[in-house]
Structure 1
Amino acid sequence: MMNYEDAGGDGTPVVALHGTFGRGLTFAAVATRLLPDYRVIGPDLRGHGLSDRGGDFSREAFVRDVADFIQERELAPALVIGHSLGGVTAYQLAARHPDLVRAVVVEDIGAVTDTTQVEQPVLDVTGWPRRFVRRADAIGFFAATPAPEYFLESVAGNGELLFDLDDMMAVQHGNAGSWWDDWQSVSCPVLLLRAANSFLLSTDLAAEMVRRRPGTELVAFAGAGHWIHREAPDDYAEVVRGFFARV
Structure 2
Amino acid sequence: MHYVSSGEGQPVILIHGLFGNLDNLKNLANALEENHQVIRVDLPNHGKSKHWQHMDYPSLADECVKLLHKLNLTEAHFVGHSMGGKVAMALALIHPEMVTSLVVADIAPVAYSPRHQKVFAGLTSMPMEQVSSRKFALDHLTNADIDIGTSQFLLKNLQRTDNGFEWKMNLEGLIENYSHIIGWDIPDSVYPKPCFFIRGGESEYVLAEHSKAIMKQFPKVSAKTINGTGHWLHAQKPEIFNRLVVEFINKQSS
Does the pair score TM above 0.5?
A: yes
Give the TM-score range, shorter chain. 0.7 to 0.9
Deviation at 1:225, TM superposition (A): 1.3
Match of 1:226 among 184, 209, 231: 231
Written as runs of structure 1 = structure 2, the 5 A alignment for 1:201-220 is 201-205=206-210, 207-212=211-216, 213-220=218-225
> Hey, what does 1:123 align to over in structure 2?
117
CA offsets 1:13-45 (integer angstroms, 9 cap, x no match): 211111111111111111112231123211111
Q: Is the 8 A contact 2:191 2:219 kept in 1?
A: no
User: For 2:212 and 2:61, how far apart are their aligned partners in 1?
Assistant: 24
Q: Is the 8 A contact 1:147 1:227 kept in 2?
A: no
Q: Which 4+ runs in 1 deviate beyond 4 A?
A: none
Q: Is the 8 A contact 2:106 2:231 kept in 1?
A: yes
Residue type of the alignment partner of 2:84 = G
Written as runs of structure 1 = structure 2, the 5 A alignment for 1:73-152 is 73-115=71-113, 120-123=114-117, 125-126=120-121, 127-129=124-126, 131=128, 132-142=131-141, 144-145=146-147, 146-152=149-155
> Hey, what does 1:10 align to over in structure 2?
8
Q: Is the 8 A contact 1:113 1:121 kept in 2?
A: no
C-alpha RMSD of the superposition: 2.1
Deviation at 1:130, TM superposition (A): 6.7
User: For 2:231 and 2:10, how far apart are their aligned partners in 1?
Assistant: 26
> Hey, what does 2:197 align to over in structure 1?
192
User: For 1:12 and 1:64, how far apart are their aligned partners in 2?
Assistant: 21
Query: Which structure is larger by alpha-carbon Rg, 1 or 2?
Result: 2
CA offsets 1:190-238 (integer angstroms, 9 cap, x no match): 1001111213222331x32454343201111111111222222111110
TM-score by length of 2: 0.85
Point out where structure 1 has 5 or more consecutive residues left out of the alignment: none
CA offsets 1:114-140 (integer angstroms, 9 cap, x no match): 33xxxx344351534273320212333
Report the number of matched residues: 239
Q: Is the 8 A contact 2:15 2:41 kept in 1?
A: yes
Point out where structure 2 has 5 or more consecutive residues left out of the alignment: none
> Hey, what does 1:157 align to over in structure 2?
160
